[in-house]
Amino acid sequence: MLFERLVVHDTGDTAGAALNMAIDESLLENAAAEPVLRFYGWARPSLSFGYFGRFADVAAEAARRDIVRRWTGGGIVLHGDDLTYSLMTPAGDPASRLGPPAIYAALHEAIRLALLAEGCETRLAAVGAPRISDACFANPVRFDLLLDGRKVAGAAQRRTRRGFLHQGSIQVPHLSERFRERFASGLAGNVEWGKLPAPVIERATTLVSEKYATATWLHRC
């Protein structure tokens, strides 16, 4: 198990692209003693691109999708039909000492086992593939999940003094509600399900107006 205890937020609600990113950052800012896993959906078809990406590369999608720049790195990800999740690991948690690759691999192994219970057999990529596109799911990296050679689960990460943020997308349709339970249970022996704290939502609302919904953030170099 990656953690001893894990708090899961899974309200079933959807949110706009900017608010989804802001909630993840707010959760990391408010990181408590235990790691937090969040599942979320999208109010409209959306596109997220990495912190170091260029808006010019995604601008053509603006008429069809909400576009948001992530705080994490990585490539372009289309959202709407995927299952999106984030994991916040406080700096004081023993798992933080494992390093990004080990956490990445542990999360995707838990997803692999949860998918297997759904009758979907995937495998962890042993090595990265040559980069062929800015689209995240066109470029498998080590420990991504592959289904018949196609990438179906990928993620991006960011580390701060407060902790570690991992944002992932699982692009396998028609997953059951049990999938989320199995995924969470594969990460920790003690799993607690709860609601997002009010201070997290309040701070996220501020981050939307000051950061994620602004042209300055979206178009930054």
Q: Supply the residues annotated as catalytic.
A: 136
Q: What are phi and psi of 94, to 5 degrees?
A: -55, -30
The neighbouring-strand residues paired with 7 are: 36, 192
Find the Cα–Cα–Cα–Cα dihedral 201, 184, 7, 207, rounded to 10°: -20
Report which residue type is found at 119.
G
Are the C-beta atoms of residues 100 and 157 closer than 8 Å to each other? yes
Cα gap 66→57, rounded to integer Å: 14
Closest among 84, 28, 35 to 192, alpha carbons compared: 35
Report which residue type is found at 6.
L
